[in-house]
Amino acid sequence: MHTRISAIALLTLAATTAPAAADTLAERANRGLVEVITGGVAGSSARMAEDLADVLDDGATRRVLPVIGKGSLQDLVDLKALRGVDLAIVQSDVLEHVKATHALGIESSLTYVAKLYNEEFHLLARGDVHSIADLAGKKVNFGSQGDGTTITGPRLFEMLRIKVEVTNYGQALALEKLKSGQIAAMAFVTAKPAPLFAGVRARDGLHFLAVPLKGDIASSYSPARLTAEDYPELAAQGTVDTVAVGTVLVVANLVPDSERYRNAANFVEAFFTQFPKLLEAPHHR
């Protein structure tokens, strides 16, 4: 009898205390929560989001949750449309493009916070392609749909008046197709050195192509270089001139005085006060 009463008492106690414990856990998990959407794992914005979480997530009043997205273009859509996404790390030229074309109707849907860092335009080609002009009429991959490279790549080639046959494979698949000769080159906007290219060897017969900084390109992008220090196997003969794309942090147009608004404001304030820590090793700079 006593055993049965004890069991019933324990079940009753569990039933009455479990909801309160769950509420406490939920409150702790969501306290100061902001979700930051990034590009795919092959790019550099996911690493930057990890750095933001490492520096700004204090575990008590602020929580930073990186969300892996599909790239700058899709991330802007998701920032506007998805429930819970508060901030995004996107390419500056993609942001400018969608604003200028009114493609996504985002003009009043986000606020610029700050520039974070630069990403380099990588143009990797087969050995029989000696210059970017040689790619005319050939297959060039500009990343999967939603990737920022799908904006930057065609834009640069249009500025250079070079017409190519566009493919839209994911970057990892594009690298395999490049090695097998199914495409002539692949473009990828990411910060150097890109982990995707770490396993590429000279024997693969691939190399980076220079991107000339002239005309409209000079007014839209910054000069950059890929060096042997960045890529010992792919730039062993010296430096390769290319261009850099700014990467920026933007915040969604949140309802004033809402919990998400206050959390985002808390995050932005901490971002600016603790920004020097983001410049310290081993964080991405």
Q: For 166-180, what is each residue's pLDDT tens digit?
A: 999 999 999 999 999
pLDDT digits (tens, 9 = 90+) for 72-113: 999 999 999 998 999 999 999 999 999 888 877 776 678 999
Looking at the DSSP assignment, which residues form a beta bridge with residue 242? 224
Answer yes or no: do 64 and 155 share one domain. no
pLDDT of residue 127: 92
pLDDT of residue 284: 57
**Average pLDDT score over residue span 2-29:** 51
- Could you tell me which of 101, 105, 141 has the C-alpha nearest to residue 125? 141
pLDDT digits (tens, 9 = 90+) for 191-202: 999 999 998 988
- Could you tell me which of 93, 90, 44 has the C-alpha nearest to residue 221? 93
| Structural domain includes residue 122 | yes
d(CA 150, CA 148): 5
| Structural domain includes residue 53 | yes
pLDDT digits (tens, 9 = 90+) for 202-227: 889 999 999 999 888 999 999 999 99
Domain housing 224:
118-246
Q: Is 241 helix (H, G, I), strand (E, B) or coil?
A: strand
pLDDT of residue 4: 42
- Could you tell me which of 66, 58, 67 has the C-alpha nearest to residue 28? 58
pLDDT for residue 17 is more than 60: no
pLDDT of residue 151: 95
pLDDT for residue 281 is more than 60: yes
| Structural domain includes residue 3 | no
Answer yes or no: do 133 and 199 share one domain. yes
CATH classification at residue 189: 3.40.190.10
Binned at pLDDT 50, 70 and 90, residue 29 comes out as confident
pLDDT above 70 covers what percent of the chain?
Answer: 89
Answer yes or no: do 138 and 168 share one domain. yes
Answer yes or no: do 129 and 81 share one domain. no
Answer yes or no: do 160 and 222 share one domain. yes
Between the CA of residue 223 and those of 68, 147, 185, 219, 237, what are the distances in Å?
Answer: 29, 22, 21, 10, 19
| Structural domain includes residue 177 | yes
∠ CA 231-236-242, nearest 5°, is 60
pLDDT digits (tens, 9 = 90+) for 34-44: 999 999 888 89
pLDDT digits (tens, 9 = 90+) for 119-133: 999 999 999 999 999
Answer yes or no: do 82 and 138 share one domain. no
Answer yes or no: do 137 and 156 share one domain. yes
Strand-strand pairing, 165-167 and 110-126 = unpaired
Answer yes or no: do 122 and 208 share one domain. yes
pLDDT of residue 283: 62
For the chain, the domain total comes to 2
Answer yes or no: do 183 and 141 share one domain. yes
Contact in structure between 95 and 75 (CB atoms under 8 Å): no
Answer yes or no: do 239 and 262 share one domain. no
Q: What predicted TM-score, i.e. pTM, was given to this entire model?
A: 0.86
| Structural domain includes residue 137 | yes
Cis amide bond preceding 19, omega within 30: no
Answer yes or no: do 239 and 256 share one domain. no
**Average pLDDT score over residue span 141-157:** 95
Mean pLDDT (the chain) is 88
Answer yes or no: do 76 and 156 share one domain. no
| Structural domain includes residue 167 | yes
Strand-strand pairing, 185-190 and 139-141 = parallel
pLDDT for residue 236 is more than 50: yes
State the DSSP code for 90: E
| Structural domain includes residue 284 | no
Between the CA of residue 170 and those of 32, 51, 147, 212, what are the distances in Å?
Answer: 34, 25, 9, 25
pLDDT above 90 covers what percent of the chain?
Answer: 69
| Structural domain includes residue 142 | yes
Contact in structure between 107 and 98 (CB atoms under 8 Å): no
